[in-house]
Chains A and B, each alone.
Chain A
Amino acid sequence: MIIIKPKAEFVVTVEAELTPDLAEKDIEEVKKFKVYYGKDLVELGELFEVVREGDDKKLVLEGDFSKVKWIGCRMAEGEIVVKGSVGANCGAYMAGGRIVIEGDADDWLGAEMKDGEITVMGNAGNLVGCAYYGNATGMNGGKITIEGNAGNYIGEKMAGGEIEIKGNAGDFIGTEMKGGVIKIHGSCGFVGGDMKAGEIRIGGDFELMPTFVKGEDGWSGDMNVKGEGVVKKL
């Protein structure tokens, strides 16, 4: 296990693809891991304190990581525990393993993730589990759980896996969704625009496009794109 703590408050964002693979490296090598601080390429050790404890494939990030982007990007196994908040793109393209965020997550959480598990104890931003601009497919496996609220465009172009939001969410949930499940325990705005397949379940109030057709226990659509998605009450 490697414990990483910011040495100071960051003025600009840090782009650091920190994955549990680091825990298998020599501590001096970990300190030399390259990250961007603004436009400058620097070593991890310049910005963070790095300590090893035990041998398991795990990263513990202690402190405020809300300006640190790309944590857990492309990770395939192991565990990351963040004792604070994280910046954007956390868990992007993730293929396995587990990320637990005790604070809040910023935008693009688990974007295009393929497998694994992300849990956010606080709130998440926009575009959870969605596709990056220009790509056709968002999250297609794994599970994202958000204990608090989330923003807009949750699960855009999502093709598989599950997103569960215990609180409320914003507008445009499951836009262009192609598969997978989104559960929102609270309320949200518009759902299912251009939805092709998959399922959205909502506990509270929500708004639906007029291009959805009411069935026995829910709605299907989006008719606009001959979609076979399902929207129902949780």
Chain B
Amino acid sequence: MHHALHIKNGIVIDPKNGVKAEKMDIFVKNGKIVEESELKGEDVKVIDATNKLVVAGGVDMHAHIAGSKMNTGRTMRPEEMRVVRNIANKFRAAIGRVLLTSPAIGYEYTKMGYTSVFEAAQPPIGALHTHEELDAIPMLDKAALPVFGNWHFVLKYVAEKEMEKLKAFIAWAIERTKGFGVKVVNPGGVEAWMYGGNVSSLDDQVPGFNVTPREIILSLIQATEELKLNHSVHLHCNRLGVPGNYETTIESIRLASKFSNDARQVLHVTHVQFNSYAGDSWRTVASGAEEIAKTVNAMDNVTIDMGQPIFGHATAMTGDAPFQFTLHRLTGSRWSNKDSEVEGGAGIVPIAYLPKNPVHALQWAIGMELGLLTDSDKVVLTTDYPNGGPFTEYPYIMAMLMSRKMREGELEKVSPFVQKASNLPAIDVEKTLEEVIHMTRSLPARILGLPNKGHLGIGADADIAIYDLDPLNVDTSNDFEKIYKTFKTAVYTIKDGIIVAKDGNLVEEYWGKTYWVDATGRVDLEAIKADLEDYFRYYSVELQNYGVEESWLKKPERIVI
């Protein structure tokens, strides 16, 4: 039910609009934040937020919440399905330990005060399935990033230096998949995996194509910038999970220096924790986070997200198929490999992060180092769910970023390897509440290019979270237990002006929007017509049948650029 809302006496933190813990009232009408005067004569529901924290709903810009790899993971891990989180009543049954079912994903994010979540890797041929699953996730606004970095069309156009055709292809593919932007996973490496290999540097030749990872990344950034897509290239770097990879990561980040954009970054590098290892083997591995943070801080057009591991169960699933094979060999755990035509691949391996395992403890420390040492305006809080662990532990990361004391306590529980292989024990940075709110709301919204998200200014979407925390009377360094507990359960979660959860209980089932970006008006689709027809002659799906029609989506929100 749409009500006009008057959120009274809350303490608002709204980094985008420069509001730093100010007592103020927020007004909502028709799903938007409005001026008080707009509410005259309305039937207004008043929410008393006295001494409570009022912020925008959380925005998760990188999680895996839908698509074939999620379902394969669920099939592979029956043990994940034994935890019952919510039994029917008027809502749908929700189960899962870390690998949740679709309704559980919507409900658990909502209880925590998150309102938008982006699926970060959509294999294009699986787009319909991905959208059907996204449509099964209640409450949240969603979108999906199709993967481009190993698609034969991309490799071909990059090799031929056909920039206009590359742009036309990207616009065509995003429209066909109802996608949001350009995701790149281990560019060239997944194609090499089709021949049993991988790439080992930005300058390796991709088998069968006269291109290198460097050329793929540069061309995709250029195409994305010229198309003026909302979001920049979203890069999962080469050599993920390999000791010594931090140098490749830094090299990749520096590729952005050739480009500029006033509105946002030109490159977002994701789950950087997995790409921040120094050393040359698992025996000599150490943190390369400080160097990476320095590089990011020195550039004005790159952002990153943490990919923070959480101790306990997780499930590694990524479009980086060769990495997943390596992980399977390393852990001896179950492994599933996926291949999606000429578009990319994926792998899945169950994993548990153990505090006493030196490598796991180091990964945990590196995630924190990245979060602490990178400017708060350039690093987003993520676990790369379910790769680093459950999104339900975001409050743990929030509390850790704000409290050195908490980190000291946690450091005592983990492998002493961390003491010599990382700088975490020496870092005394404590992020402020405002910085952490920025890292979970306004920053990811800006990085995604969604001006109505992540803030509480007039005209913003009325996605609001209210927490039982008085920011004017909390000592975030010492009250870390309170911080953790508070952010686990919002007192109110409001989506598009509708109260969907209160005190951890779901109040109303609501269906959020699916954003997709239509850039086809900016390109000449005729330029790639012959190539498409030629390719699809050998495809398992006919060109006419390829992709997702807008009318098949539950609540599509088309962004025309």
Q: Does B associate with A? A: yes
Q: Contact at A133–B88, with CB atoms within 8 Å?
A: no
Q: Which one of B77, B87, B88 lies within 8 Å of A134 (CB-CB)?
A: B77
On chain B, the number of residues with a Cβ less than 8 Å from chain A's Cβ atoms is 8
Q: Contact at A135–B79, with CB atoms within 8 Å?
A: yes
In the bound complex, how far is the Cα of B350 from the Cα of A135, in angstroms?
12
Judged by a CB distance under 8 angstroms, whether A132 is at the interface is: yes
Q: Which of A41, A133, A134: most chain B CB closer than 10 A?
A: A134
Provide the residues of chain B in CB contact with A132, threshold 8 Å.
78-79, 82
Judged by a CB distance under 8 angstroms, whether B119 is at the interface is: no
Shortest Cβ distance from residue A19 to the other chain B in the assembled complex, whole angstroms: 18
Closest chain A residue to B81, Cβ basis: A134
Q: Contact at B78–A133, with CB atoms within 8 Å?
A: yes
Shortest Cβ distance from residue A88 to the other chain B in the assembled complex, whole angstroms: 14
Closest chain A residue to B79, Cβ basis: A134
Q: Which of B48-92 contact A (CB under 8 A)?
A: 77-80, 82, 87-88
Provide the residues of chain B in CB contact with A39, threshold 8 Å.
87-88, 93
Q: Contact at B87–A133, with CB atoms within 8 Å?
A: no
Closest chain A residue to B89, Cβ basis: A41
Mind listing 14 A-B residue pairs with CB under 8 Å?
A39-B87, A39-B88, A39-B93, A41-B87, A132-B78, A132-B79, A132-B82, A133-B78, A133-B79, A134-B77, A134-B78, A134-B79, A134-B80, A135-B79
Provide the residues of chain A in CB contact with B78, threshold 8 Å.
132-134
On chain A, the number of residues with a Cβ less than 8 Å from chain B's Cβ atoms is 6
Shortest Cβ distance from residue A176 to the other chain B in the assembled complex, whole angstroms: 14
In the bound complex, how far is the Cα of B78 from the Cα of A134, in angstroms?
6
Provide the residues of chain A in CB contact with B87, threshold 8 Å.
39, 41
In the bound complex, how far is the Cα of B88 from the Cα of A20, in angstroms?
29
Provide the residues of chain B in CB contact with A134, threshold 8 Å.
77-80
Q: Which residues of B contact A (CB under 8 A)?
A: 77-80, 82, 87-88, 93
Closest chain B residue to A36, Cβ basis: B87
Q: How many A-B residue pairs have CB under 8 A?
A: 14
Shortest Cβ distance from residue B78 to the other chain A in the assembled complex, whole angstroms: 4
In the bound complex, how far is the Cα of B87 from the Cα of A186, in angstroms?
45
Q: Which residues of A contact B (CB under 8 A)?
A: 39, 41, 132-135
Provide the residues of chain A in CB contact with B79, threshold 8 Å.
132-135
Supplied contacts A132-B82, A135-B79, 12 more A-B pairs, CB within 8 Å: A39-B87, A39-B88, A39-B93, A41-B87, A132-B78, A132-B79, A133-B78, A133-B79, A134-B77, A134-B78, A134-B79, A134-B80
In the bound complex, how far is the Cα of B248 from the Cα of A118, in angstroms?
59
In the bound complex, how far is the Cα of B93 from the Cα of A41, in angstroms?
13
Shortest Cβ distance from residue A129 to the other chain B in the assembled complex, whole angstroms: 18
Shortest Cβ distance from residue B308 to the other chain A in the assembled complex, whole angstroms: 26
Provide the residues of chain B in CB contact with A135, threshold 8 Å.
79
Provide the residues of chain B in CB contact with A133, threshold 8 Å.
78-79
Q: 10 smallest A-B Cβ distances: which pairs?
A: A134-B79, A134-B78, A133-B78, A135-B79, A134-B77, A39-B88, A41-B87, A132-B79, A133-B79, A134-B80
In the bound complex, how far is the Cα of B313 from the Cα of A134, in angstroms?
13
In the bound complex, how far is the Cα of B79 from the Cα of A41, in angstroms?
23
Shortest Cβ distance from residue A225 to the other chain B in the assembled complex, whole angstroms: 13
In the bound complex, how far is the Cα of B88 from the Cα of A133, in angstroms?
24
Closest chain A residue to B87, Cβ basis: A41
Closest chain A residue to B88, Cβ basis: A39
Shortest Cβ distance from residue A147 to the other chain B in the assembled complex, whole angstroms: 31
Shortest Cβ distance from residue A76 to the other chain B in the assembled complex, whole angstroms: 20
Shortest Cβ distance from residue B99 to the other chain A in the assembled complex, whole angstroms: 11
Closest chain A residue to B80, Cβ basis: A134
Shortest Cβ distance from residue A89 to the other chain B in the assembled complex, whole angstroms: 12
In the bound complex, how far is the Cα of B429 from the Cα of A187, in angstroms?
69
In the bound complex, how far is the Cα of B88 from the Cα of A41, in angstroms?
10
Shortest Cβ distance from residue A143 to the other chain B in the assembled complex, whole angstroms: 26
In the bound complex, how far is the Cα of B81 from the Cα of A134, in angstroms?
10
In the bound complex, how far is the Cα of B82 from the Cα of A135, in angstroms?
11
In the bound complex, how far is the Cα of B87 from the Cα of A39, in angstroms?
8
Shortest Cβ distance from residue B335 to the other chain A in the assembled complex, whole angstroms: 14
Shortest Cβ distance from residue A73 to the other chain B in the assembled complex, whole angstroms: 12
Closest chain B residue to A39, Cβ basis: B88
Provide the residues of chain A in CB contact with B80, threshold 8 Å.
134
Shortest Cβ distance from residue B93 to the other chain A in the assembled complex, whole angstroms: 8
Shortest Cβ distance from residue A196 to the other chain B in the assembled complex, whole angstroms: 14
In the bound complex, how far is the Cα of B80 from the Cα of A39, in angstroms?
20
In the bound complex, how far is the Cα of B93 from the Cα of A43, in angstroms?
20
In the bound complex, how far is the Cα of B79 from the Cα of A206, in angstroms?
32
Shortest Cβ distance from residue A107 to the other chain B in the assembled complex, whole angstroms: 15
Shortest Cβ distance from residue A13 to the other chain B in the assembled complex, whole angstroms: 15
In the bound complex, how far is the Cα of B77 from the Cα of A133, in angstroms?
8
Shortest Cβ distance from residue A42 to the other chain B in the assembled complex, whole angstroms: 12
In the bound complex, how far is the Cα of B88 from the Cα of A134, in angstroms?
25
Closest chain A residue to B84, Cβ basis: A36
Provide the residues of chain B in CB contact with A41, threshold 8 Å.
87
In the bound complex, how far is the Cα of B549 from the Cα of A225, in angstroms?
51
Shortest Cβ distance from residue B82 to the other chain A in the assembled complex, whole angstroms: 8
In the bound complex, how far is the Cα of B93 from the Cα of A133, in angstroms?
21
In the bound complex, how far is the Cα of B79 from the Cα of A179, in angstroms?
22
Provide the residues of chain A in CB contact with B82, threshold 8 Å.
132
In the bound complex, how far is the Cα of B80 from the Cα of A132, in angstroms?
11
In the bound complex, how far is the Cα of B88 from the Cα of A39, in angstroms?
8
In the bound complex, how far is the Cα of B80 from the Cα of A114, in angstroms?
21
Provide the residues of chain A in CB contact with B93, threshold 8 Å.
39
In the bound complex, how far is the Cα of B82 from the Cα of A134, in angstroms?
11
Shortest Cβ distance from residue A139 to the other chain B in the assembled complex, whole angstroms: 17
Shortest Cβ distance from residue B315 to the other chain A in the assembled complex, whole angstroms: 12
In the bound complex, how far is the Cα of B93 from the Cα of A208, in angstroms?
44
Closest chain B residue to A136, Cβ basis: B79
Shortest Cβ distance from residue A134 to the other chain B in the assembled complex, whole angstroms: 3
In the bound complex, how far is the Cα of B23 from the Cα of A201, in angstroms?
76
In the bound complex, how far is the Cα of B17 from the Cα of A208, in angstroms?
74
Closest chain A residue to B93, Cβ basis: A39
Shortest Cβ distance from residue A194 to the other chain B in the assembled complex, whole angstroms: 15
Closest chain B residue to A131, Cβ basis: B79
Closest chain B residue to A40, Cβ basis: B88
Closest chain B residue to A135, Cβ basis: B79
